[in-house]
Amino acid sequence: MTRPLRNVNLLLGGILVLVIVAAALLSFVYTPYDPNRMNLSGRFLPPQSSHLLGTDQYGRDILSRVMKGAVNSIIVGWVAVGIGMGFGVLLGSLAAYWRGWRDQGIMRLVDVFYGFPAVLSAILLTSILGPGIVNSMLAIGIFYIPIFARLTRGVSLSIWERDYVTSARAVGQSSRAIIWHTILPNILSPLIVQATVQFAIAILAEAALSYLGLGTQPPHASWGRMLNEAQTFMEISPWLAIFPGLAIAVAVLGFNQLGDGLRDLLDPKLTRVRR
Amino acid sequence: MFVFLCQRILILIATLLLVSGAIFIVLHVIPGDPAQLILGIHATPETLHELRHRLALDLPLPVQYVKWIGELVRGDLGRSITYDIPIASLILSRLEVTVPLAILSILFAIIFSIPLGVYAARHRNRPGDYGVMVFSQIGLAVPAFWAGILFILLFAVELRWFAAGGFQPWTETPWGAFKSLLLPALSLGLIRAAVLTRLTRSSMLEVLGEDYIRTARSKGLTEKMVVYKHAFRNALIPVVTLVGLQMGELLAGAIVIENVFNLPGLGRLIFLAIGQRDLPVVQGGSLLIAFLIVVINFSVDAIYGIVDPRTRAGNGRS
């Protein structure tokens, strides 16, 4: 019974992620309406055939804005995970390679930031660097570095002890070549799984920042920002508060499920051990 | 034991110094003059000079940091520029919202998650288990602030059981204060409940597979006795640890949720101070949150080390 369930994780996650990515890609060539075009005669329209998800306080089409919002979320996810993974893998690999005081120094520094909540740090950083999508990506990405550094170091340490690494050393391969060709390919699976989970968290963090007015700036569409604007008009048009939130939940659920599915797929050891 | 605690305390002090340094640097090394940022572009050179002097910005950076730390040790966080009152008392007054909010959220999370996690583990791979896991996946995916907005929509706008936001002070009406924290706590607690449910389930499954559980069953104990007296207690250790660690995230999450419900808590104070360029309040408030998180993590770590000596033995190894 467990095996098909694992496939369900991967399948469901894959489908949900595909829907979000497809909506984002499609928005470059087609949206039902211009997401930023105001139409004051068509404000607060409930969902109907001409506007499937209704319109907002400026008469903008919610479906078009939700589609454009997907682009934001995906870009933030990619860049934040890219920053965190790029620097984190570098630091973690070096710490595992160096050992000793340099390893301890890096890891203690990493530990300081590891325990600090990313959302709070991102709020502080974006408020100082200035609101905007670029700064929010940076802020979220910076606080992903410790997560990837710890993971990389932990997994790399055990790989450095393996016989095939010893053999590579014995045949005279340089440390750089061993890290590139032996260590990194072997730590890729846990990194991919972690990246998927962090992608979901980045979407949540960006939405929270945009909700607070520190992320994507108007008039550009962002799910968090749309929820912020919706709160004022919730009494007259509740759908404004429903669809952007639903989009966030679907995206996060998709990436979380995909992460679970990939974990099962890429880590056979875990699959055997799991009950 | 003594050496272990001393080590932990030293790490705690080092961490606090690093965190305070990081917050200080972030707020002071950014491009631009903080005094200019606070007073705006129309400020006269005299007022700028006076503010720089008042905030000790005219001193070299390392001296400023040492001075700030010295004042912190004496419990002096400085004065708020916006409110013109001591920051310590300002923060203290806001904690009466944020601390009960965090505690209520974690209570909600525990009340929901532990019975659900135990139930799921006892009915592993059965419809009830799948139902609980679906709930936990949804709980993980729903952002707390959206949950808050939906709760306002349902309980305040539609049913009119609660106010849509705001806070009534404890001194005026304790029930009113409690009531104004219920929906925010529920919103914040939802994601925690999802995480705790998953952990309780997996922890229970792990313990239920142990030899001593098999022994307990073979002794003829009832399933209830096995689950609640033997398995549950042991399965609780990682859950309690996570509850402690989640308090830190709750304090941070409070920033967003206090904005959704317009609660005058520490998170909202920091957020508004950012907008008002009240840097001493931002500095003091963030440091307090960081301090609480580090101390909670330290306590969990230390208690865990005392309760489970194996974690101490592993300490310090690479």
Q: What is the pLDDT of residues B149-188, one digit of tens each?
A: 999 999 998 888 988 888 888 888 899 999 999 999 999 9
Non-local (6+) Cβ contacts of B72 within 8 A are B20, B287
On chain B, the residues whose CB falls within 8 A of the CB of A204 are 143
Q: How far is A112 from chain B (nearest CA, A)?
A: 6
- Tell me, what's the ipTM? 0.85
- CA trace torsion A261, A262, A268, A274 (10° rounding): -40
Other C-beta atoms lying within 10 Å of the C-beta of residue A171? 6
Instruction: For residue A129, list chain B residues with Cβ-Cβ distance below 8 A.
Output: 30
Strand partners, B79: B86
Q: What is the pLDDT along chain B (318 residues), one digit of tens a residue?
A: 677 778 778 877 877 888 788 888 877 766 667 777 777 778 888 888 888 887 777 888 888 888 888 888 888 888 888 888 999 999 999 999 999 999 999 999 999 999 999 999 888 888 999 999 988 989 989 999 999 999 999 999 888 898 888 888 888 889 999 999 999 999 999 988 998 998 889 888 888 888 888 888 888 888 888 888 778 877 877 787 777 777 777 877 788 899 999 999 998 998 888 877 788 888 888 888 888 877 887 777 777 666 666 555 444 333
Q: If pLDDT is split at 50, 70 and 90, which confidence band does A91 have?
A: very high
Q: pLDDT tens digit string along A239-275?
A: 899 999 999 999 999 999 898 888 878 765 554 444 4
Pick A128's closest partner by Cβ from B30, B142, B145. Answer: B30
- Tens-place pLDDT, residues A20-34: 999 999 999 999 999
**Sign of CA pseudo-dihedral B81, B87, B93, B96:** positive
Distance from CA of B196 to the nearest CA of A (A): 16
Residue A218 confidence (pLDDT): 84
User: How many residues are given for chain B?
Assistant: 318
Looking at residue B317, its pLDDT comes to 36
B27 and B283 in contact (C-beta within 8 Å)? yes
- Dihedral over alpha carbons A111, A113, A119, A121 (to 10 degrees): 170
What is the rounded distance in angstroms from the CA atom of residue B5 to the CA atom of residue B135?
Answer: 40
Contacts of B14 in chain A (CB under 8 A): 108
Question: Which tokens belong to B304?
Answer: 């865990």
Identity of the residue numbered A257: Q
Q: Which of A151, A148, A153, A124 is nearest to A136 (CA)?
A: A124
